[in-house]
Each structure stands twice: as C-alpha cells, then as structure tokens.
C-alpha cells in the first residue's frame, strides 16, 4: 500500500500539472455565460421593440418624409389629404410602402442601439463606481448618445434606402435590392452615405436625450413611488416624453438629412449641411422649412418611442422570468 502511495505521488510530481476545478474558474465561466445571455436578450428585445414601434407609426412616418423632402407647405389637413389620396390611389397597404426597408434597417438598428446602451451603461457604471445602479446624469446622457451613434454608423445605408423607397413611386424601385443596385450604378456608392454627417450630428442629441429622459423618469419614479418597476402605461408615458424631447432637439438635422438622402430623385443638389440649411431657409423659411412636419412628429415620435422603450423593457423582463423558470425546473 505504501509503494502505491509513493507511485501516485511520483506521478503527480513528475507528470504535467493536473488542472483541478476551482471556484474562481467556475465563477468566471458563469459570469461569461451570464453576460452572453444578457447581450443576446438585449439584441432580441431591441429588435422586437424597433419592429413593433416603427410598424405602428409607418403611415405617419412615410407622410412626414414626403413633406420633409418637398417644398409643399405642411399642415395637419394636408397630411390627412395625402394619406387619404394615397389610400384611394394605391390601396390601404400602400401606406406602409417602404416599411419592408424600414424593417431591414430598424431591426438591426434597434437591436444594436438597445444592446449597445446596456453595454455602455455597464462599462460606464463600472468606471464611475455605479455598477448595477442608476448612472449619474452625465454618464447617463453619454451612454445614450454612444448607443445611438454606434447603431447609426453600422446601419446608415439601410436608412438611405428606406428614405428613397418612401418618396418614390413603386414603379421606380421594385424592392430593397433594386434600390441598392440603381443607386450604385447611376449615382455611385458614395451616394449611399449622403447625409451621413447630419445623421451623426442629429443622433447624438436625439439618442442621448431620449435614453437620458427615459432612464431619469424611471429613476425618479422608483424614488417617489417606492416601486422598483413602473406599470406599462407609466413606461409608455415616460417613453413618450423621451421621444418628444429627443426628436424636438434634433429635428432640423433630420430635415437636412432627408433632403440630402433624396436629392437624386427630387431634382435638387445638396452638397453640405450648412448649404442645405441655407437653401431650405431661403426657399421656405426657418419654421416652415427646418421644422416642417414637426407637429406630426409630436404625434408620431412619442407613440413610437413610448412603444419602443416599453416593448424592450417588458421583453427583457419576460425573458428573465422564462430563464428563471427554466433554471428552477432543472
């Protein structure tokens, strides 16, 4: 028996190091799995949130873009007439023309934006010592701006295609791929990034203020009510406020972006942001030009952003509960 013990010791001494499972290794593996699951949940929840929100307001969004890229004067009455004429001429589902391109853009955009926001919150929370807690105001604003910028940079050509499909008759572009092919052949690949700079400049205040407002209202609600989670209608209201503030702050740049994106099919030539602004103001004035369609955005924007934030939060909660139920069942 003694010789057996000695042989075992010799094998442990002379052989390679035998890895033994440690609690630290297990914790690292579990944390990695938990983080991966969190990222996938955020991507799925964000994609669903974007799809539901944009589909709900697609007819209003299309109408807004048509007014933004034309010199026609905007009013609620004219917007209603345009929607009604489109319905009579091309049918009910024509009101959602370009929505397939919107979905191709908005699903990855929203997925990346919401996922990036969660990751930036985690990174900034660790940096500022607020891990797992609500961020201070400045990092809260920064996380939203960075998330929006990340998503916009990665999905911009799809936004360009969606704008083209929204303002052109269906005979001009048959599908999303056709838009890409025609723009590349007739106007060059650089055209796919026309309006990129105003988009980036606009998304910084828009995404920053939207996420900042929503997160701030949730934080204040938790402090005042004593409830960690608001009700669904409260989330919708917080999201609506976030959308109203974010879109109002960045709206002139949104108009400039649309003009530059659709210049190839509207007969205009827009080179720079300042040049485009100058042309719009000289032809249509400041309010009627740079803020054209804003009143419609005050209807559409809060609805879309409210639905988006609420869908994301509720989907996240549902996925966590499903995981807990599955984990408990095991």
**Torsion region of 90: left, alpha or beta (phi above 0 gives left; psi -120 to 50 gives alpha):** alpha
Say which residue the tokens 């955005």 belong to: 297
Tell me the pTM.
0.75
- Residue 199 in tokens: 């988009």
Question: Shortest CA distance to 165 belongs to which of 180, 146, 145?
Answer: 180
Say which residue the tokens 């095991």 belong to: 330
How many whole angstroms separate alpha carbon 285 and alpha carbon 64? 18
CATH superfamily to which 39-320 belongs:
Mitochondrial carrier domain (1.50.40.10)
Q: Following CA atoms 301, 214, 100, 43 in sequence, which dihedral angle do they give, to the nearest 10 degrees? A: 180
Q: What is the pLDDT along the chain (330 residues), one digit of tens a residue?
A: 455 544 444 444 444 554 555 556 666 676 778 788 889 999 999 999 999 999 988 888 778 777 767 767 766 777 778 888 877 787 777 777 777 777 888 999 999 999 999 999 999 988 877 776 788 899 999 999 999 999 999 988 887 887 777 777 776 777 778 888 888 888 888 888 887 888 888 899 999 999 999 999 999 999 999 898 899 999 999 999 999 999 888 888 888 888 887 776 666 777 788 888 888 888 888 888 888 878 777 888 899 999 999 999 999 999 989 888 875 444
With beta carbons less than 8 A apart as the criterion, state whether 66 and 74 touch.
Answer: no
Consecutive H or E run containing 84: helix 76-90
How many whole angstroms separate alpha carbon 41 and alpha carbon 37? 6
């Amino acid at each position: 028996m003694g010789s057996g013990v000695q042989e075992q010791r010799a094998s442990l001494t002379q052989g390679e190091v035998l890895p033994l499972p440690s609690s630290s290794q297990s914790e690292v593996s579990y944390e990695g799995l938990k983080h991966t699951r969190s990222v996938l949940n955020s991507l799925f929840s964000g994609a669903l949130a974007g799809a539901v929100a944009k589909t709900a307001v697609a007819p209003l969004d299309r109408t807004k873009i048509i007014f933004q890229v034309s010199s026609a004067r905007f009013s609620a009455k004219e917007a209603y007439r345009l929607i009604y004429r489109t319905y009579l001429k091309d049918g009910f589902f024509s009101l959602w023309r370009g929505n397939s391109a919107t979905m191709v853009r908005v699903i990855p955009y929203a997925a990346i934006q919401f996922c990036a926001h969660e990751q930036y919150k985690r990174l900034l929370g660790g940096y500022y010592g607020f891990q797992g807690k609500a961020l201070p105001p400045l990092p809260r604003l920064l996380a939203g701006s960075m998330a929006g910028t990340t998503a916009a940079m990665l999905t911009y050509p799809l936004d360009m295609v969606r704008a083209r499909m929204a303002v052109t008759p269906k005979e001009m572009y048959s599908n999303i791929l056709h838009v890409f092919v025609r723009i590349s052949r007739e106007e060059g690949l650089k055209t796919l990034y026309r309006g990129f700079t105003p988009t980036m400049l606009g998304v910084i205040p828009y995404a920053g203020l939207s996420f900042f407002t929503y997160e701030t209202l949730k934080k204040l609600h938790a402090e005042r009510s004593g409830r960690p989670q608001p009700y669904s209608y409260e989330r919708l209201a917080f999201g609506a406020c976030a959308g109203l503030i974010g879109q109002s702050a960045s709206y002139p740049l949104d108009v400039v972006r649309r003009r530059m994106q659709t210049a190839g099919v509207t007969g205009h030539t827009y080179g720079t942001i300042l040049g485009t602004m100058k042309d719009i103001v000289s032809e249509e004035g400041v309010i009627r030009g740079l803020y054209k369609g804003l009143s419609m955005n005050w209807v559409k924007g809060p609805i879309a952003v409210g639905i988006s934030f609420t869908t994301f939060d509720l989907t996240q909660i549902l996925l966590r509960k499903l995981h807990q139920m599955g984990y408990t069942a095991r």
